[in-house]
Chains A and B, each alone.
Chain A
Amino acid sequence: MTAGAPAPDAAPVLDVSGLRVEVGGRSVVDGLDLVLRAGEATALVGRSGSGKSLTARALTGLLPEGAERSGTARFTSADGTGADLLALPSGRMRAVRGPGIGYAFQEAQASLNPTVTVGAHLKETLKAHGVERAARRERGLAALRAAGLEAPERLWHAHPFELSGGQAQRVALALACVLEPRLLIADEVTSALDPLTQAGVLDMLRARTGAGGSLLLITHDLAVAARWADRVAVLDGGRIAESGPAGEVLRSPRHPFTQELVRAAAPTGAAAAVAASRTAGGVL
């Protein structure tokens, strides 16, 4: 299922240290440290409202009005140049968004402009990053195909309201991936999908790390983290409570909060079963 464990010394794509986010004077993220490596999928788990999405939005400069951030987040581009995302001027940050960091949001349908067709979404995004006109349609169609949409030509002229939930999610992912970002942040992208579609989408996202991309899966679903992530970071009280290889953290959690989280997920049996199957697969 998943790619072989990446080399532990793989280059960090994003090195976050001491990230703090305050919303209206209240500290939500409080000294978060996180390293995301090339070729690796990291799951950021935690309960609802623990600040998972706010962390991702702070890193990409997309915080809501009235939220403040501090700390450092060193991002290394594909060409090896590094920069602190939290200190980048807005013009350079704009160049990072898209080809550097792709961001797929939880609300797929709502993250598409209702007045703009699927094709126009893709073409305009490619245009914003200087892709020449002649190549835009082909690249857009290729991204839709890679996101698991068969016959993407049929969807090219569709408006978002004409898409099903699963199609909208795949279009949103295609859009986040169309510039082939070095780091893809997938924020609860599969929460609203049925298990089969969910698996298909996550397999597709996971495959991206094979080409040296880095994936940050934000989820509250431990089963998803267990099956599709190499590493798990557990967010509690605005900090990383525990992090490490996915199997290890979820099989023998050390931090009381992680233990609680794993126990809470256990009654469904899904997390345990999937964790077990993954471990078995790993052994084979």
Chain B
Amino acid sequence: MSGTASPLAPRAATPAALLAPRVRGRGGLAAGLAVLTAMALAAALAPLLAGHDPLATDTSATGLPPGSPGHPLGTDQLGRDLLSRMLYGARYSLLVGASAAVLTVAAGTALGAAAALAPRWIDAVVTRVADALLALPMILVALTLAAVAGPSPTTVVLAIAATGWMPVALIARAEIRALRERPFVRAARSLGHSRTRILLRHLVPNALPPIAAVAAFEVGHAILTESTLSFLGLGIPPNIPSWGNMLTDARALLLTGQWYTVALPAGAVVATIIAVNAVSTGLERPGAGEGRTW
């Protein structure tokens, strides 16, 4: 045994070392991660990359097509540089999308775990509320919330979480209920572990793979809802560039030959959602059996 490289030899637990074997041989995962990293970098470095103020209008340069000198992606009807608007828009759209998705998944998992483990009446309340919200048209609930609280990025995040937590909660509840009777949970109880410890260490981590699949869907849902609410004027205030606001501005131009004003933000939304889904699908298939997913 000694001297040979054993697969059981102690491994370094750096994030890179943990991620490398998962990415290797899985093109979708690598591509998804690359797209998301590029987008996050572009958003973070927007002030350096953008050649113009995304809000500055220029009446001498309205409606320029992509490839125009000084405006690689062209300008909109008010002469605002589209590349700069896309870069600054990514900041709001990605930030709102990611924080809404995190909040949705966290709230859904917590409510689902409570429903699975707490007294029966809590379970009844959570599942009835979830059923009722699922029966309502999502956009109606989001619209009402946005209308009551006034348009702001925070409102958008809360509206998305309030309308998106139900599938996560129902899946978490079902998973945790099933896991409760699994031998390793019984074994943990037989060793005198506390309830909190068993929940956080044994139940939630093992319920995560199916939750992660929904979480990817929630990121897409969040970015789309942000666009929708902004498009309807109830999301991110129109003076702030976001992909949704860009779509709103461009909606009249779709049929007038300036298709790129719609295609750019729409393409960015679609690319983000596909990249998130590719990462989620890639992570779902562990390289070597159960337990390596995380």
By a beta-carbon cutoff of 8 Å, the part of chain A in contact with chain B is 60, 62, 64-65, 94-99, 101-103, 105, 107, 110-116, 124-125, 128-129, 151, 153-162, 172, 175-176, 179
Contacts and interface: CB of A to CB of B under 8 A. Distances in A.
Given A155-B8, A157-B11, A115 B192 contact: no
Interface in B178-192: 180-184, 186-192
B288 A113 contact: no
A102 B180 CA distance: 20
Contacts of A129: 192
Contacts of A64: 181
17 contacts: A96-B192, A98-B191, A102-B190, A103-B187, A105-B187, A107-B183, A111-B183, A111-B184, A112-B184, A113-B202, A114-B206, A115-B206, A124-B201, A128-B193, A151-B1, A161-B292, A175-B187
A267 B31 CA distance: 63
A161 B191 contact: no
B191 A116 contact: no
Contact of B186 (A62, A153, A159): A62
B194 interface: yes
B7 interface: yes
B201 A161 contact: no
Interface of B: 1, 6-11, 180-184, 186-194, 197, 201-202, 205-206, 288-294
B201 A97 contact: no
B187 A111 contact: yes
A109 to B, nearest CB: 9
Contacts of B6: 154
B196 to A, nearest CB: 11
B192 A94 contact: yes
B182 A110 contact: yes
Given A103-B190, A114-B206, 11 more contacts: A62-B186, A62-B190, A95-B192, A110-B182, A110-B183, A111-B183, A124-B193, A154-B8, A157-B9, A161-B289, A162-B8
A29 B186 CA distance: 20
Nearest to A110: B183
A128 B194 contact: yes
B192 A111 contact: no
B206 A157 contact: no
Contacts of B11: 157
Nearest to A118: B8
A116 B197 CA distance: 13
Given A62-B189, A128-B194, A115 B205 contact: yes
A159 B292 contact: yes
B205 to A, nearest CB: 5
Nearest to A125: B191
A159 B194 contact: no
Contact of B187 (A112, A156, A159): A112
A97 B8 contact: no
B189 A113 contact: no
Given A110-B182, A110-B184, A128-B197, A157 B191 contact: no
Contacts of B206: 113-115
A225 B59 CA distance: 94
Contacts of A60: 190
B193 A125 contact: yes
Nearest to B291: A114
Most buried by A among B180, B192, B289: B192
Contacts of B205: 113, 115
A197 B288 CA distance: 26
A163 to B, nearest CB: 9
A172 B187 contact: yes
Contacts of A114: 184, 206, 290-291
A175 B205 CA distance: 20
A96 B192 CA distance: 7
A159 B291 contact: yes
What are the nearest 6 A-B pairs in CB distance?
A114-B291, A97-B192, A98-B192, A103-B190, A111-B187, A110-B183
A160 B8 contact: no
A113 B186 contact: no
A176 B188 CA distance: 10
A90 to B, nearest CB: 9
Contacts of A154: 1, 6, 8-9
Contacts of B293: 115
A161 B190 contact: no
A212 B67 CA distance: 86
A68 to B, nearest CB: 17
A38 B290 CA distance: 40
Contact of A157 (B8, B193, B194): B8
Nearest to A163: B8
A28 B232 CA distance: 64
A128 B184 contact: no
A97 B290 contact: no
Contacts of B8: 154-155, 157-158, 162
A103 B291 CA distance: 23
A110 B202 CA distance: 12
Contacts of A157: 8-11
B191 A115 contact: no
Contacts of B188: 113
